[in-house]
Structure 1
């Protein structure tokens, strides 16, 4: 069951795009939750994709429409895994990775996109 959930969440990353949210006026091309599937299922930021930190490289590379210059926002529970995910993605050549840190502190900072922003 755990494997099936993981596969389903990973497959959803292939076609998903970030919700209409921005961080500091910038709309990321993808918002990636690097926690476990169980943590993600218990609650996450709207529009986020669940790609556990240990699979973030292969997961992000599978997202349709994303390239190495796309803005990618990563977050987790405390900030430790998101920092590791950012480092991994940068080692793979992604140039615009933002470490959002802990979900609890990131969520209030995200703003809906409007006609004037994003």
Structure 2
């Protein structure tokens, strides 16, 4: 019973965190995470993206993605910070993580900005 209460609390916290950042991804779609600074994110970002700076991702990812089997796409300006974030998430047990490269690359691959 205690485990169920903890699971429900984590799920509610995760949904609240996503709601603050545009909501959860559409069914079958990966969660897109912009790992740039908040200022960079506010200037322009992929429409579906949530912002978790790469140097904060280890401490904040569970609030957004408690399921380590979830599909995640990371991006930054050039691909360097998203590469660091990808390595961090893999060390935490997330396996379906893709480095989407830079914002320009994401736009080239069909994502739109907000």
TM-score, normalisation: structure 1: 0.71
Q: How far 1:58 moved relative to its partner? A: 2.1
- CA 1:85–1:40 in 2, change beyond 3 Å: closer, same or farther? same
Cα deviation code 1:32-88 (max 9, x no counterpart) = 000000000000000200000001122221016x41000000000000000000000
| Whole-angstrom CA distance in 1 between matches of 2:94 and 2:60 | 13
State the Cα RMSD in Å.
Answer: 2.5
| Whole-angstrom CA distance in 2 between matches of 1:103 and 1:51 | 15
Which has the larger share of helix? 2
Q: How far 1:12 moved relative to its partner? A: 8.8
TM-score, normalisation: structure 2: 0.73
Q: How far 1:111 moved relative to its partner? A: 5.9
Which has the larger share of strand? 1
Q: How far 1:108 moved relative to its partner? A: 2.4
Match of 1:14 in 2: 17
Q: What residue ranges of structure 1 are gaps of 5+ in the alignment?
A: 1-10, 21-25, 113-118
Q: Is 1:13–1:49's contact at 8 Å kept on the other side of the alignment?
A: no
Could you list the runs of 4 or more consecutive aligned residues of structure 1 that deviate by over 3 angstroms after TM superposition?
Answer: none
